[in-house]
Amino acid sequence: MMDVLMALSIVVMVFKHRQKRRGINNMLPHSPTLDKIDETPEEVFERYGITKEEYRTLLTQRLARDKDAPKIGDPAPDFELEKLTTSGGRTGEHCILSDFQGKPVALVFGSYT
């Protein structure tokens, strides 16, 4: 039972850390824009464990990162990947995203372990 409680407490700590590290993505239900932060009551930010200034900093950083990000409808940046065997081994063969122009492509990111 203690192991389960410890694991649950670690999960909660990691979630809170990720939420704070990610910044404002999904943090506040109706995230105020930069021009509305001062109008937003401090209690709204306190509920999520962040101050107005921390929120302003996180939002400014996110906006700076997003400035150069592709927008909805922009073509995907071209890239090349090495093909793997069914067991995950390297083949030496490569495929380029632009080779699939006009065909549906699904990109799956994550661990399979």
What average pLDDT values come out for the chain (113 residues) when binned by 10 residues? 44 52 53 82 84 89 86 87 89 92 83 66
62 touches 25 (CB < 8 A)? yes
Q: State how far the Cα of 33 lies from the Cα of 59, in Å rounded to an integer.
A: 8
Residue 102 in domain: no
Task: Report yes or no on 104 lying in a domain.
Answer: no
Residue 38 main-chain phi, psi, to 5 deg: -65, -25
Domain annotation covers residue 10: yes
Q: Is 24 exposed, middle or buried (0-12, 13-18, 19+ CB in 10 A)?
A: buried
Task: Please report, for residues 15, 37, 72, 73, the alpha-carbon distance to residue 80 in angstroms, rounded to integers and kept in the order given.
Answer: 33, 42, 22, 21
Q: What is the pTM (predicted TM-score) of this model?
A: 0.44
| Residue 24 structural domain | 2-67
In this predicted structure, what is the pLDDT of residue 19?
53
Question: How many independent structural domains does the chain possess?
Answer: 1
Q: Is residue 84 part of a domain?
A: no
- Whole-number Cα distances in Å, 33 to 37, 56, 66, 109: 6, 9, 14, 30
* pLDDT on residue 92: 94
pLDDT of residue 96: 92
pLDDT given at position 6 = 44
State the pLDDT at residue 1. Answer: 37
Considering the domain boundaries, does residue 60 fall inside one? Answer: yes
Integer angstrom CA distances of residue 105 from 59, 65, 83, 85, 102 = 32, 26, 15, 19, 9
